[in-house]
C-alpha cells in the first residue's frame, strides 16, 4: 500500500478522492515502525470499499485480515455509530496494534477484534444471513473456502468484497500456477458462475471482486 506515485492515475485518484487524515497516516507510520509488510489496501481501494458500504447502508460488516487496522478504519468510518465491524487476524500482535490505533482514531467502540485462524473462526460465526458485508483480505489459499462461508453469512442484498483479485496480473498469467494464484482463479470462477452472486471485478488497486448476494 505504499503511496501511489504522484504522477500516476492511481496517485491522481488518491489525492482527489481518498486523501488520508492524520489517523490513517498514523497507521501507515506505525506499520513501518513495527516492520510490518506493506500489504494494507491502497487508499483508492479502501475508499471504494468505504463508498460501497455506505451505498448499501452497511451496519454489520466482517473483515478477514486486520493487519494494523488501515482498511478497518476506512470501513468503521462507513458505519453508523451503532454499527459494528468484526475483524479477524491470526496474529495477536497485529490485532493488538490495530486495537490501539483504532481506539486512538475514535472508532474503537465500533470494532470487534477477533484473533484466530479464519478457517476456524468463520465456521463458528453466525447468524447465517445476518451480515451486510464481508471483506476478504487474508491468505489467498483459503479464498474458495472463505467465499463459501461469506455466501452463508451474507443477507440478501449483502455485499461480498475480495481484494487482490488480479494478484498483480498473475491471475491472467498462464505461467503462474502457485497455490495462491490458483486459489484466486478458482474463487473468481466460483463467484462469476454462482447464481446467488451478482459479481464483477473492478480494476482498482490490485483488483477488487465485488458481488451482491441475492
Interacting residues toward ligand SAM by CB under 6 A: 39-41, 65, 67, 70-71, 88-91, 94, 117-119, 137-139, 142
The whole-angstrom separation of Cα 65 and Cα 48 is 17
- Bridging pattern class, strands 111-115 and 131-136: unpaired
Going edge to edge, which strands form the sheet with 208-213?
111-115, 84-89, 60-64, 131-136, 154-163, 208-213, 197-202
Gyration radius of the chain over CA positions: 16
Which of 122/197 has CB closer to ligand SAM? Answer: 122
CA dist., res. 197 & res. 167, Å (int):
21
Identity of the residue, 40 or 208, whose beta carbon is nearer to ligand SAM in the bound complex: 40
**Element at 63 (helix H, strand E):** strand 60-64
For residues 121 and 188, which CB has a smaller minimum distance to ligand SAM in the complex? 121
CB of 69 to ligand SAM, least distance (A): 6
Q: By the 8 A CB rule, do 133 and 160 touch?
A: yes
Which one, 112 or 198, has the nearer CB to ligand SAM? 112
Amino acid at each position: 500500500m505504499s503511496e501511489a506515485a504522484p504522477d500516476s492515475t492511481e496517485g491522481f485518484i488518491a489525492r482527489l478522492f481518498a486523501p488520508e487524515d492524520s489517523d490513517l497516516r498514523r497507521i501507515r507510520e506505525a506499520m513501518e515502525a513495527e516492520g510490518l509488510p506493506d500489504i494494507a489496501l491502497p487508499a483508492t481501494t479502501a475508499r471504494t470499499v468505504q463508498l460501497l458500504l455506505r451505498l448499501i447502508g452497511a451496519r454489520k460488516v466482517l473483515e478477514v485480515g486486520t493487519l494494523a487496522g488501515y482498511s478497518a478504519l476506512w470501513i468503521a468510518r462507513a458505519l453508523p455509530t451503532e454499527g459494528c465491524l468484526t475483524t479477524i487476524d491470526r496474529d495477536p500482535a497485529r490485532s493488538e496494534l490495530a486495537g490501539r490505533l483504532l481506539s486512538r482514531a475514535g472508532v474503537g467502540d465500533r470494532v470487534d477484534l477477533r484473533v484466530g485462524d479464519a478457517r476456524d473462526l468463520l465456521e463458528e460465526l453466525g447468524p447465517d444471513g445476518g451480515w451486510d458485508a464481508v471483506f476478504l483480505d487474508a491468505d489467498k489459499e483459503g479464498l474458495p473456502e472463505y467465499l463459501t462461508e461469506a455466501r452463508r453469512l451474507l443477507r440478501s442484498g449483502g455485499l461480498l468484497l475480495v481484494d487482490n483479485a488480479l494478484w498483480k496480473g498473475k491471475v491472467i498469467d498462464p505461467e503462474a500456477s502457485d497455490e495462491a494464484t490458483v486459489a484466486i482463479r478458482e474463487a473468481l470462477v466460483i463467484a462469476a458462475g454462482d447464481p446467488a452472486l451478482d459479481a464483477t471485478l473492478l480494476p482498482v488497486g490490485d483488483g477488487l471482486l465485488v458481488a451482491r448476494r441475492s
